[in-house]
Structures are given as C-alpha cells and as structure tokens.
Amino acid sequence: MKIPKINFFYRNIFCSFFLKIYQKFWQKKKLVNLMFFSATLFFSEFALTQNLPVKKTQPKPLIAASISPIYQIALAITQDQKNTLLIMNPKFSEHDYQLKKEDLLVLKKASLVFYLDKDLEHIFAKMAKNTNFYALSKVAGMKILPQKQNQKRQDLHLWLNPQNGLKIAEFITQKLCELDDGNCQFYQKNLNNFKSELEKAITVSRQNLAKIEPESYSFYHESFRYFEDFFALKALEIVSKDHESDLTIKDARRFFEVSKTKKIKCLFAEAQSENSAAKKIAEKYQIYFAALDFIGNKKSYPNLILNISNDISACLAR
C-alpha cells in the first residue's frame, strides 16, 4: 500500500502535542513511551492524509517545430528539450525534406505543431487542416514580403526579420498558455527573457552593420531579404534570381557585367546549401566569400541574428 504524502501543517500540530506527552512520561517508561509516540505519530499522519485531495500533475504538452529557427524560439519559451522537438534536420533543405516514420509519429502525438507555411514546407500541405497545426505566416502582425521575381508569391524566409521572430514567440506563448494554463506564468517569464536577449542581439547587430559600405556586397540568393529589410541594408546584386533553380547562363552574364562596373567586395550564400556554386563565382571574380547560417543549427534565435550580422561585417571589414 502506498503511503500518501504527509500534510506538514497538521503534522506539526501532532508533533507538538505528542512531544509534550512524551516528555511527561519520559522518566517512567522511556522505551515504551518512545515506541508509543512514534507509532501514534505515524498513524495520525496516515489518518489525516486519507481524505486529503491528491493533486494530479498534468503532463507537459509535446511541441513540434518544423525548422530550426522555430524550434529555437519554441525552446526558449518551454525550456524543455524533452518535450520540444525539431522535425526537419537543419542539414537538409526545408523545400524538399521527406518525412520519416519517427517524424510522423511525433506529429501525430504532438499537442501543438508550428510551421511557417505549406508553400515553404511542402510536407505540411496535407496536414494543414489539423486544428493543432499552426502556419506562422498567418499570425496577425507578421510582416510578409513578396518575392522579387514574382510579386504574386510570398518570400517565406520571414524568421530573418527579428520583429517576426518576436511575433512567433508571442504566438507560441499564447498557445502554450491556452493549453497549459498552470504554467502560463512560467512561459510568460521565458518570453520576457527572450525579448531581452533579442533586443541585445538587435542592438549589437545594428552597431556591426552600421560600419559597412552600402552596395558593397552581393547575395547568391535572395533568402536574406527580411534581414536586409529590417536592418536597412541593400545588396548590390542577387546572383541567382530563382531560389529553387540552379544558376542560369543569363544570371552569370548579368553578374559578370555588374562586377566589371561595380566593386563587389563579398559574396554571401546560405551555409546550408549553394556553397560550391557560390564559391566558384567568388573565386572566378576574385571576391571574398562567406557562408551565412540562416537556420541556426539548433542554437538560440538571438544568436542566429547576431551571427549573421557578425559574419557580414567581418567579411566586409577585410
């Protein structure tokens, strides 16, 4: 039989009462009284706790995030690595990732699933109707930019705008509080800490980027438009206009013409892909090359923003 937990308030009362009895009869029958005292105290506590309500512990919600930046933000709020899970490995592109059996199992068990948009993470297209699946591109107040080449389509690398990152954190906190009200204050506290860390990262990033010369660099793809937009930067040229296609001869010729008339100091590309083609372009035109980690590889979201600004300013400082 499992003995219930002791109610410490009532235990103190009984301890005080039986201690007086014990002291009174101490000199007469030491051993007998000691045994009597101990047994009485134990059974008194046991009797008192029989009718006391037992508090049931609510299981922590299981949170699933599609890509690393969302995972980083969610983890900052939950502070629970065991119950906050990343679906897509940062080593693979979110555009063509194939779900594994263990991924499907997590998505089935998850209390909340956060992803950006079915047009970015195509694997979520069939799951988007699930009531616990949330497309963060639809969150109120999210700043969405159109693609340069196709104004009718959205550029969905929206997490690279720190304001959008904060909107995501606030939305995740809201959903966690709705699901797990008992820990809402804990989530709110973590949200405030996240805001503070993000503000520091933004301040340092602005200081770093204020030193660079405008239009002295190029991006291999336009994935960093949200970062540029937030920090008021302007790339001289985008080498490849289509993120989902290889470099065309037309793109290469255009970049060649620009490089002859304008001084491009650095060429930036995504660390997760494109390195080979982008490096070849940089080597051909004798331009510095830097790979920017726009996913973060499970590190904190404020560090993701800060590291991008550090890498851009470091390359242009050469």
Query: Tokens 């922590």 — which residue?
Result: 60
Higher pLDDT, 67 or 213: 67
The residue among 81, 155, 92, 168 whose CA lies nearest residue 119 is: 155
Q: Is residue 263 predicted with pLDDT exceeding 60? A: yes
Phi, psi of 68 (to 5 degrees): -60, -45
**CATH 3.90.45.10 holds for 212-316:** no
Phi, psi of 302 (to 5 degrees): -55, -35
State the Cα–Cα distance between residues 85 and 71, nearest whole angstrom: 7
Confidence of residue 193 (pLDDT cuts 50, 70, 90): very high
Phi, psi of 126 (to 5 degrees): -80, -15
Q: pTM for this one?
A: 0.79
How large is the average pLDDT for residues 13-18? 53
Q: How do residues 105-122 score in pLDDT, each as one tens digit?
A: 999 999 999 999 988 888
Q: What is the pLDDT of residue 34?
A: 46
Q: Mean pLDDT in the chain?
A: 82
Q: What is the pLDDT of residue 184?
A: 97
Q: Is residue 6 predicted with pLDDT exceeding 90? A: no
Q: Is residue 41 predicted with pLDDT exceeding 90? A: no
Q: What is the pLDDT of residue 107?
A: 93
Q: Is residue 305 predicted with pLDDT exceeding 90? A: yes
Per the DSSP assignment, residues forming a β-bridge with 115 are 135
Higher pLDDT, 24 or 121: 121
Q: Is residue 163 predicted with pLDDT exceeding 60? A: yes
Q: Is residue 37 predicted with pLDDT exceeding 80? A: no
Q: What is the pLDDT of residue 238?
A: 81
**Per mean pLDDT, which range of 113-127, 206-220, 233-247 is the poorest?**
233-247
Instruction: Please spell the DSSP secondary structure of the chain, one letter per residue.
Output: -PPPPP-HHHHHHHHHHHHHHHHHTTTT-HHHHHHHHHHHHHHHHHHHHHTSPPPPPPPPPPEEESSHHHHHHHHHHH--SSSEEE-S-TTS-SSS----HHHHHHHHH-SEEEES-TTTSGGGTTTTTSTTEEEGGGSTT---EE-SS-TTSEE--GGGSHHHHHHHHHHHHHHHHHH-GGGHHHHHHHHHHHHHHHHHHHHHHHHHHTTSPTT-EEESSSTTHHHHHHTT---SEES-S-TTSPPPHHHHHHHHHHHHHS---EEEEETTS-HHHHHHHHHHTT-EEEEE-SS-TTS-HHHHHHHHHHHHHHHHT-
- The answer to whether the beta carbons of residues 260 and 237 sit under 8 Å apart is no
Confidence of residue 271 (pLDDT cuts 50, 70, 90): confident
Q: How do residues 139-153 score in pLDDT, each as one tens digit?
A: 999 999 998 777 888
State the Cα–Cα distance between residues 222 and 228, nearest whole angstrom: 10
Q: What is the pLDDT of residue 221?
A: 85
**Per mean pLDDT, which range of 27-31, 69-73, 217-221 is the poorest?**
27-31
Same fold, 63-204 and 212-316: yes
Rg of the chain taking only CA atoms, in angstroms: 29
Phi, psi of 263 (to 5 degrees): -90, 110
What ranges do the domains of the chain cover? 8-50, 63-204, 212-316
CATH topology of domain 63-204: Rossmann fold (3.40.50)
Q: How do residues 53-62 score in pLDDT, each as one tens digit?
A: 443 456 789 9
